[in-house]
Amino acid sequence: MSALQILYEDGEALVIDKPGGLPIERPRKGGPSLEDHLEALKLGFQRPPVPVHRIDTDTSGCLLLARNPKTLRRFAMAFEERAVEKRYLGILDGEPAKDEGTIALSLSKISSAEKGWRMIPAKKGKPSVTHWRVVARQAGRALLEFRPETGRTHQIRVHAASGLGVPLLGDPVYGMGPKTTGAAPRTMLHAAALVVPRPGKTPVEATAPLPADFAALGFADG
Q: Report the alpha-carbon distance of residue 109 to residue 41 in Å, rounded.
A: 33
Question: Looking at residue 99, what is its pLDDT?
Answer: 98
Mean of per-residue pLDDT scores for the chain? 93
Instruction: Look at residue 222 and tell me if it is in a domain.
Output: no
42-46, 110-114, 123-127, 143-147: range with lowest mean pLDDT: 110-114
What average pLDDT does the segment 50-67 reach? 97
Query: What pLDDT shows up at residue 119?
Result: 92
User: What is the per-residue pLDDT for 112?
Assistant: 81
In angstroms, rounded to a whole number, what is the distance separating the alpha carbons of residues 155 and 75? 20
pLDDT at residue 111 in the model: 87
Q: 51 pLDDT exceeds 70?
A: yes
Split at pLDDT 50, 70, 90, the class of 178 is low
- Is residue 166 assigned to a domain? yes
Distance CA 84, CA 77 (A): 10
Instruction: Tell whether 77 is covered by a domain.
Output: yes
| Domain presence at residue 185 | yes
**Sign of the torsion formed by the C-alpha atoms of 42, 48, 53 and 59:** positive
Maximum CA pair distance of the chain? 52
Band (pLDDT 50/70/90 cuts) for residue 182 is: low
**pLDDT above 70 (res 172):** yes
Position 116 pLDDT exceeds 90:
no
In this predicted structure, what is the pLDDT of residue 177? Answer: 61
Catalytic pick among 17, 56, 58, 213 = 56
Nearest to 156 by CA among 94, 92, 209: 92
Quote the domain boundaries for residue 43: 5-215
Q: What is the pLDDT of residue 207?
A: 98
Residue 146 falls inside a structural domain: yes
Do residues 56 and 187 lie in contact, with contact meaning Cβ atoms separated by under 8 Å? yes
Q: Which tens digits make up the pLDDT trace of 21-49?
A: 999 999 889 899 999 999 999 999 999 99
Please check the confidence at residue 127 and state whether its pLDDT lies above 60: yes
Is residue 220 in some structural domain?
A: no
Annotated catalytic residue 93: no
Q: What is the pLDDT of residue 176?
A: 76
Q: Which pLDDT does position 221 carry in this prediction?
A: 75
| pLDDT of res. 32 | 93
Q: Whole-model pTM?
A: 0.94
pLDDT value, residue 222: 65
Residue closest to 7 by CA, chosen among 196, 194, 211, 199: 194
Domain count, the chain: 1
Cβ pair 61, 191 in contact under 8 A: yes
Percent of the chain with pLDDT over 90: 86
Would 221 be classed as within a structural domain? no
CATH number (domain holding residue 95)? 3.30.2350.10
Write down the pLDDT at residue 3. 84
Query: CA-CA distance, 46 to 184, in Å (whole number)?
Result: 40
